[in-house]
Amino acid sequence: MELLIAPAPQSAAWSRRGVPACKARGQEARGKTSGSRRRLPRGWRSEVKGLLQTDDRIALKEITRQLHLENVVGDKVFGSFAENLAFLLEALKKGDRSSSRPVLFILDEFDLFAHHKNQTLLYNLFDVSQSAQTPVAVIGLTCRLDVLELLEKRVKSRFSHRQIHLLSSFRFKQYLEIFKMQLSLPEDFTDRRFAEEWNQNIKSLCEDRSVEDVLQKHFCSSKDFRSLHMLLMLALSRVTVSHPAIKPTDLLEVSRLCTMDSKANILHGLSVLELCLIIAMKHLNDIYDGEPFNFQMVHNEFQKFIQRKSHSVHNFEKPVVIKAFEHLHQLELIKPMEGPSVRTQKEYQLVKLLLDNSQIMDALQKYPQCPTDVKQWAASAFG
């Protein structure tokens, strides 16, 4: 679900060699970045990333460096921001279509560039692409569908409005194909015998019912390749000399790892006291319908439970309970409402529980040797 934006390429050569090529590649693998890369040798293009070049000053330096303009000495760019901008613009202005080398600008995380002050860089790049200067093509990569709305009016007017949406519209069958392709070894692999065996194994893996189920589930939750790669990476890391092939059980295991609920895992590691506090909070949540609470309320609830079932849980001192409460805070199972700047007494700081009832109940089911009283307390409607 990603979007590739390519303002009008200046020269005819570019539209042939640059943009549609990206498009074709994008459709097959949805790699917007890798698609736009690999097209041209370095020096022809300049690639800036919104996450690294967080403002125009840095982006300009990076562009100048990558284009090897003359104010670059070694790896350093000299001059102030204003000088750099003037220099780059001057350089681009000097060129013309017939004589100067076309330049490709790739802006990764394009939407972040739109947040730069005045959108100076975008305006200038678009303006150059729309005027009879050095032929440039600007390709912006972003995953935001609404990126055009971020552009200022005059910047938007200079943008050619060419958008290529790389959407994964494939079906499960194709997904399975891709899965197979990703795992298969190439024909020219050095150890040919191993390659054959491996590919055979992958083929059988694809036909396995349980594997298909795992993939189906994965496909349902997300179509993007990064998550598929994550899954396959975990599976591949289980391959050793003694275990030379991926077994369906491996995949099952890995899939379980991938889809595990992280918070439920944390709950398994809590002490009974902490669990009791969580249950007390759950009850408070139920009573007050999600309103925030503080330690004192939780402690009260806990005391009530202790008084009723004094034999099952040891009656802890208040400082011990506070410690347990703080531990929950550190685990981020509870979250204070105010920021750390607001100074209130610890006992009265308002907090919220970051767990759903279902998660708590699931965790209790799986918690080893959980006292029955505690379980019952959790299940009961009111503390």
Partner 1 sequence: MSRYFTRLKKRRVYSWIGGPSFIDRKLKHMFYEGLCIKTDGNTNTGCIRPGHYILIEGDEDRSYVAKLLKLYDDGTGTRSSKHAEVQWFVRFHEVPQNKRKRLGRDPHPNEVFLYEIPNCDSDIDAETIITTVQVQHLEENSPFPAAQSQENSLYVKLSWDGKSFSPVNLDLLLQSGGKPVLPASSHTDSLPKPDLDVSRGLAVDSPSRPTRSARQQHSSTSKYSQSKELSDRQPSNVISTPTARKKLQLSNSVKPPGSKLTRDDVLAELLDEDRAVSSLEAEVTRRRALASKPSSSPSKKPRDLCISLSPIRGGQITQDHQLANGTQIGPRLQPEELVKRTLKRESRAESTEGETPSKRKDSIKIDAPLDILIEDGGEVGGPVVAVTPRSRRKSAQVSSARIQQQLNYLNRKQSTDFDVDDDEEDVFLPTKKDLKSSSEEESESVTGRRGSRSAVPRTPRSSRKAPSRTPAKTPNKTPRRTPSKTPVPRTPRTPRHATPSIPSRTQPTRKPGNVLEEARARLHVSSVPESLPCREQEFQDIFNFVESKVMDGTGGCMYISGVPGTGKTATVHEVIRCLHHAAEQDELPSFCFIEINGMKMTAPHQAYVQILQMLTGQKATAEHAAALLEKRFSTPAPKRETTVLLVDELDLLWTRKQNVMYNLFDWPTRRQAKLVVLAIANTMDLPERIMINRVASRLGLTRMSFQPYSYKQLQQIITSRLNRVRAFEDDALQLVSRKVAALSGDARRCLDICRRATEICEFSSQRSGSGLVAMSHVMEALDEMFSSPYITAIRCASVQEQIFLKAVIAEFRRLGLEEATFQQVFRQHLALCRVEGLSPVCMSEGLTTCLRLGACRLLLLESSHRDLHLRVRLNVSQDDVLYALKEG
CA distances in angstroms from 6 to 1, 43, 122, 153, listed in the order given = 16, 19, 12, 18
Closer Cβ to partner 1, 27 or 184, answer by number: 27
Our measurement of the distance from residue 262's CA atom to the centroid of its chain's CA atoms, rounded to an integer in Å, reads 16
CB of residue 118 to partner 1, shortest distance in Å: 6
Partner residues linked to 45 by β-bridges? 104
Smallest separation, CB 183 to partner 1 (Å): 21
> In this structure, what DSSP letter does residue 348 have?
G
Question: Distances from the Cα of 125 to the Cαs of 39, 107, 136, 302, 314, in angstroms?
Answer: 20, 11, 8, 64, 70
19 or 275, CB closer to partner 1?
19
Residue 364, φ and ψ in degrees, nearest 5: -65, -40
Give whichever of 78 and 194 is closer to partner 1, judged by the CB atom. Answer: 78
Residue 43 or 244: which CB sits closer to partner 1?
43
How many CB atoms sit inside 10 A of residue 29's CB? 15
- Closest contact distance (angstroms) between CB of 56 and partner 1 is 8
CB of 169 to partner 1, least distance (A): 5
CA–CA distances in Å: residue 252 to residues 198, 214, 330: 19, 7, 32
- Closest-CA residue to 2 (of 179, 153, 225, 173): 225
CB of 233 to partner 1, least distance (A): 17
Between 57 and 299, name the residue whose CB sits nearer to partner 1: 57
Q: Whole-number minimum distance, CB 374 to partner 1, in Å?
A: 22
| CB nearer to partner 1: pick between 143 and 370 | 143
Q: Is the separation of the CB atoms in 9 and 44 below 8 Å?
A: no
Strand boundaries in 226-350, DSSP class E: 334-336
